[in-house]
Amino acid sequence: MKKRKQPERLSWEGFGTLEVIIIIAVLITIALLFRENIIAFANNLINKVFTSSVIDGL
């Protein structure tokens, strides 16, 4: 009686790297879609930080 050859199991070694690449691609896409809003938010935040001082309030 012949033994049937078991199918090889799928290798999961590269899936962690693939997940990281997909996450990075999604983040880059979101950043490109909302880049104007992100830049405006960052500029507004920087202006608030550097124009107001804790010492002025004392």
**Residue pLDDT tens, the chain, 58 long:** 567 776 666 667 777 888 999 999 999 999 999 999 999 999 999 988 888 666 665 5
Dist. CA 38–CA 32, nearest whole Å: 9
> How much is the pLDDT for 48?
87
Measured CA to CA, the distance from residue 12 to residue 19 in angstroms comes to 11
Locate the DSSP E strands across 1-58. Answer: none
The Cα diameter of the chain in Å comes to 92
Q: What's the one-letter identity of residue 25?
A: A
Residue reference for tokens 């979101």 = 30
